[in-house]
Amino acid sequence: MSRMPTSGPHDHVHPHVPHGHPGLTRRTVLQGMALGFGAAVTASLVTAQEAVAAGTSVTLPGFSAFASSVKTLKSGQYYLVESSGLPPHNMMVGITNWQQQVPVPVPYSGSNAWRIPVSPKLAANPISAKTNLFRGAIALAADGVPIFNALNNRGEDSYLIGELDEWGGHCGRADDYHYHTAPLHLSKTIGATKPIAYGLDGYPMYGSVEPNGTALQPLDEYNGHMFKGKYHYHGTKTYPYANGGMRGVVTVKDGQVDPQPVANPFRPAGEPLRGATITEFARNGSSAFALAYTLSGSRYRINYTATLQSVSMTFIDPNGKESTQTYARKT
């Protein structure tokens, strides 16, 4: 499936990032330790006291494969999922329609954790993602990364217009990384018969086969179906890619499932950097990152550090000229 460029900005519920095209040159040495990175960030987000206050630790199929970086608890009618919002795999490479956002850790923990109903119920009036849910997440992947509607708020398929990286994700206006397609690649880690995600209505999302390993059966308009008396979704390589809406009971407010966590922006919203292609991304430890992109035949780089307290970004143009900007983050 080919991608086509677009001229419009990509809007999400969270404000995005700024500036014209502060640059990059050659990439420095910043290679990531993926799972170790996730564990380090999550440890900084979730204290033992917070975990006890939030609920009881539980094992939830799918999430358990990422236990070093994703915490799952149970509190009353909800499973609570805590993470940094950053996946164990690489990010950003392949984006050709970029609004100059970069991924930073987000404190999805404590009262800002993701909530998944323990006992989902089918809705009498399901909500279609073709006409609603253009803000916020509609599902949560097993690696702790939220999944948004496949369509942006202009009704465009984010994948087809080049907004997504090789893993189906990109960053929103708060520099919050999230998917717009189902992360089918997670099945290689989780196993083909385990959920790769959960809808925010509580129903699990499987990959390319049924939970018992048999061939995928026909799906409804929400990318799901009943199987052995229970409903579930599937991720697919064609639209709607993930759950095509909320087949289960949810509350929707201002175009998004409510409640859900908040990612606070730390810098002003920016404009699309037309003609740019992200070619490289790397990370070192839990807070150091490097992104490289090409523009008009030249190579630019952004080296940055990001913690929950602050973000410092150094922009380097093709001639080696540097400029640095530092931002305090809202807590």
pLDDT, tens digit (0-9, with 9 covering 90-100), for 141-175: 999 999 999 998 889 999 999 999 999 999 999 99
pLDDT of residue 55: 84
Query: Using an 8 Å Cβ cutoff, are 135 and 256 in contact?
Result: yes
In a domain, residue 6? The reply is no
In a domain, residue 198? The reply is yes
Domain that holds residue 217: 35-273
In a domain, residue 160? The reply is yes
pLDDT greater than 90 at residue 306: yes
User: What's the structural domain count of the chain?
Assistant: 1
Residue 37 — pLDDT band, cuts 50, 70, 90?
very low
In a domain, residue 327? The reply is no
pLDDT greater than 60 at residue 47: no
Output the DSSP codes for 147-191.
EE-SB-TTS-BTTTTT-S-TTSEEE-TTS-EEESS--GGGHHHH-
pLDDT of residue 331: 67
The Cα–Cα gap between 232 and 243 comes to 9
In a domain, residue 311? The reply is no
Percent pLDDT > 90 in the chain is: 80
In a domain, residue 165? The reply is yes
pLDDT greater than 60 at residue 247: yes
Query: Per residue in 73-101, pLDDT tens?
Result: 999 999 999 999 999 999 999 999 999 99
Residue 176 — pLDDT band, cuts 50, 70, 90?
very high
**What pTM, to 2 d.p., does this model score?**
0.85
In a domain, residue 18? The reply is no
- Side-chain-side CA neighbours of residue 178 (13 Å): 28
End-to-end CA distance of the chain: 40
pLDDT greater than 80 at residue 57: yes
pLDDT greater than 70 at residue 52: no
The Cα–Cα gap between 168 and 181 comes to 5
Instruction: List the one residue out of 245, 159, 198, 209 whose CA is nearest residue 70.
Output: 198
Query: Per residue in 190-213, pLDDT tens?
Result: 999 999 999 999 999 999 999 999
pLDDT of residue 269: 78
Query: Using an 8 Å Cβ cutoff, are 156 and 283 in contact?
Result: no
In a domain, residue 30? The reply is no
